[in-house]
Amino acid sequence: MTDDTTGAPREPGGQWYDQEAGPLVRPYAVTGGRTAPGPTGVRFDLIALVTLDPAAPADDDPALGPEHRTLIDLCRPETQSVAELAAGADLPVGVVRVLLGDLLERGRVTVSRPVPPAQLPDERVLREVIAGLRAL
Amino acid sequence: MTPEHPDAPAGETTALALKILVAGGFGVGKTTLVGAVSEIRPLRTEEMLSEAGRTVDDTDGVDHKVTTTVAMDFGRITIRSGLSLYLFGTPGQDRFWFLWDELAQGALGAVVLADTRRLEDCFPAVDYFEHRKIPFVVAVNCFAGARRHDTGSVCRALDLDPGTPVVLCDARERVSGKEVLIQLVEYAGRMHTARLLDSVG
């Protein structure tokens, strides 16, 4: 019962297998089985940009799981796209979308919607992009 | 009410991200091109995409939904703080065809990579972008050992719409990849302007 001499508290059922065993949790288990973001109903584009809401409460929200926290941590240094978050957290984009929906509802992040195709960048932006590419 | 700002002006404070797709046949060098120009090591993300509304009869109220997981490689180029370009290598397998609509949504444009030894591999990509009026350039990846073709013959072989740029490139070279992207953005700008004129004329 008390074979664990490291003193570190262990979650029940955790840490039994090493990485080689592969994922032990089905992707949508971390979302509680939800495959679509909550009532806000927004579908985040791959390049939607996620920023931590500076007005977010600093105290830890017990409703947030470790994956939510991972996403928050990834956004801490700089704004991240949904695609980058998925790669960084090693989760499918669909799962990240659900988790981001939670964070959005809880006011932890803001998500910018990419420019709609019809209004695709004005000339000034395109010129800036071309100049930026030339300077690479 | 969502804390989104879809109507915010694209001022200096609004971060702006643009999406460019890199398409073409399997093994034509899509990830290589993304890696050559990206400032980050190409990242891999898995998208679980759904094939919804593909049934012929949608009156039965049954939501036939098929989900598929597909890996995509992507890279990023930061133009300046608050303006970045994301490049997505599209899945090369034909069976993922239906996924493109989600990827293509809101894309600034596309690069169709072609290999002259198997030009037919890029036909579906060309068709796709032409039908959806998404600006694209054809970039012929000049593989060592492949016969050099001039851009005119590639243009005829692909039966491209007049004006579609065809460029020769080496997907491994940053300078070359950069040039392809510049051509694409310039072309996308021309298409955009032409459409604006059409809409008022």
- CATH number, residue A84: 1.10.10.10
Q: How far is A111 from chain B (nearest CA, A)?
A: 6
Q: How far is B122 from chain A (nearest CA, A)?
A: 24
Q: What is the pLDDT along chain A (136 residues), one digit of tens a residue?
A: 444 444 445 555 545 555 555 555 667 777 877 877 766 666 788 899 999 988 877 667 888 999 999 999 999 998 999 999 999 998 888 899 999 999 999 999 999 877 665 566 678 889 999 999 999 8
pLDDT at A15: 54
A4 in any annotated domain? no
CB contact under 8 Å between B85 and A45, yes or no, is no
A5 in any annotated domain? no
A7 in any annotated domain? no
Local structure of B56: helix, strand or coil: coil
How far, in Å, CA of B16 to CA of B10, rounded?
7
Q: Are A22 and A86 in contact (CB under 8 A)?
A: no
Q: Going edge to edge, which strands form the sheet with B16-24?
A: B43-51, B66-80, B83-89, B16-24, B109-114, B136-141, B166-169
Q: To probe the interface with A, which of B34, B43, B46 has the most A CB atoms within 10 Å? A: B46
A11 in any annotated domain? no
Q: How far is A133 from chain B (nearest CA, A)?
A: 6
The total of structural domains in chain A comes to: 1
β-strand partners of B66: B51
How far, in Å, CA of B84 to CA of A49, rounded?
10
What pTM was computed for the model? 0.78
| Closest residue to B185, CB basis, from A53, A81, A126 | A126
Residues of A with CB under 8 A from a CB of B: 27, 40, 42, 45-49, 51, 53, 79, 81, 83-84, 86-88, 92-95, 104, 107, 110-117, 120-123, 125-130, 132-134, 136
How far, in Å, CA of B135 to CA of B107, rounded?
9
A9 in any annotated domain? no
Residues in CB range of B93: below 8 A, 6 or more apart:
B26
Tell me the count of A-B CB pairs closer than 8 A: 138
Among residues A38, A45, A87, the alpha carbon closest in space to that of B101 is found at: A45
pLDDT at A136: 86
A85 in any annotated domain? yes
Q: How far is A136 from chain B (nearest CA, A)?
A: 8
Counting Cα atoms < 13 Å in the Cβ hemisphere of A66 gives 6
pLDDT at A76: 92
Q: Are A86 and A54 in contact (CB under 8 A)?
A: no
Give me the domain span that covers residue A83: 23-134
pLDDT at B27: 85
Identity of the amino acid at A8:
A
A88 in any annotated domain? yes
Residues in CB range of B37: below 8 A, 6 or more apart:
A136, B75, B77, B87, B174, B177, B178, B181
> Where do we find the tokens 């579908």?
A43
CB contact under 8 Å between A83 and B85, yes or no, is no
Residues in CB range of B10: below 8 A, 6 or more apart:
A115, A121, A122, A125, B16
Spans in chain B with pLDDT lower than 70: 1-13, 47-70, 92-99, 145-146
pLDDT at B5: 43
Contacts from B162-167 at CB under 8 Å and sequence distance 24+? B163/B187, B163/B190, B164/B136, B164/B137, B164/B138, B165/B137, B165/B138, B166/B137, B166/B138, B166/B139, B166/B140, B167/B137, B167/B138, B167/B139, B167/B140
Residues in chain A: 136
All domains in chain B, ordered by first residue:
16-55+64-200 (3.40.50.300)
Give the residue on A whose Cα is nearest the Cα of B86. Answer: A47
Q: To probe the interface with B, which of A129, A134, A136 has the most B CB atoms within 10 Å? A: A129
The predicted-structure confidence for B113-138, as pLDDT tens digits, reads as follows 999 889 999 999 999 999 999 999 99
ipTM for the complex shown: 0.79
- CA B192 from chain centre, in angstroms, equals 16
Q: To probe the interface with A, which of B1, B4, B70 has the most A CB atoms within 10 Å? A: B4
Q: How far is B148 from chain A (nearest CA, A)?
A: 26
A119 in any annotated domain? yes
List, as one string, the DSSP characters of A9-70.
---TT-S-S-GGG---S-GGGGGTT--S--TT-----TT-EEEE-TTS--S--TT--HHHHH
| Closest residue to B17, CB basis, from A47, A126, A128 | A47
β-strand partners of B166: B138
